[in-house]
Amino acid sequence: MKKYFAHETAIVDDDCIIGDGTKIWHFSHIMTGCRIGENCNIGQNVVISPEVVLGNGVKVQNNVSVYTGVTCEDEVFLGPSCVFTNVTNPRSAINRKHQYARTRVGKGVTIGANATIVCGHDIGAYAFIGAGAVVTRTVPAYALVVGNPARQIGWMSEYGHRLEFGSDGYAVCPESGQRYHLENDVVTKVSD
């Protein structure tokens, strides 16, 4: 018995695994072989290509394209009209399906509206990709990146606040009170 919701205009192909509590909205297409976790929200006009994997609690806003080769871990937010690529040198007349590059999006990542993620570049946990950014390289965990091409301008907490590190290398999230440590361009959350 189906324990997810799909709007009557959505198309869900055979051989998809869709978790309990997931919602798929108007005119979206979930293609064969996808694995979508529990309690996800797939907005309007979304394409999830074959064999894409979405973890639990992923939110995909309207008009997003997630192409084969992409894996999103739990609690990823994909902003309106963002897109992933899967071939670095596409040509209409040349079939490169055997050359799809992989992209892994870590837990808790936010990808802003209209951002483009060029394939083969992983995004670390809790990174924040600004609206309209074009990601052309790997993004470290907790990084804040913006622009075209995307460049890092800071660090973000798990609650989505900019972290200001003191001379001691520590920062505190103003909402959660969680502490973070920056050392050798790597941010780690300090255990309580």
Look at residue 191 in the predicted model and tell me its pLDDT: 77
For 148, other C-beta atoms within 10 Å of its C-beta total 12
Give me the amino acid identity at 120. Answer: G
Please give the Cα distance from 156 to 173 (Å, whole number).
Answer: 9
Look at residue 192 in the predicted model and tell me its pLDDT: 59
Those residues with Cβ within 8 angstroms of residue 98's Cβ, 6 or more apart along the chain or in another chain: none
Please give the Cα distance from 165 to 70 (Å, whole number).
Answer: 32
* Residue 138 clears pLDDT 70, i.e. is over it: yes
Q: Which range, of 31-45, 52-66, 82-96, 119-133, averages the lowest pLDDT?
A: 82-96
Look at residue 35 in the predicted model and tell me its pLDDT: 98
111, containing H or E segment:
strand 110-111
Please give the Cα distance from 122 to 115 (Å, whole number).
Answer: 14
Q: What is the pTM of this model?
A: 0.95
* Residue 150 clears pLDDT 80, i.e. is over it: yes
Domains of the chain in start order, with CATH, are: 1-156 (2.160.10.10), 160-192 (2.20.70)
Please give the Cα distance from 111 to 83 (Å, whole number).
Answer: 10
Please give the Cα distance from 72 to 59 (Å, whole number).
Answer: 10
Mean pLDDT within 25-30: 98
Mean pLDDT within 2-23: 96
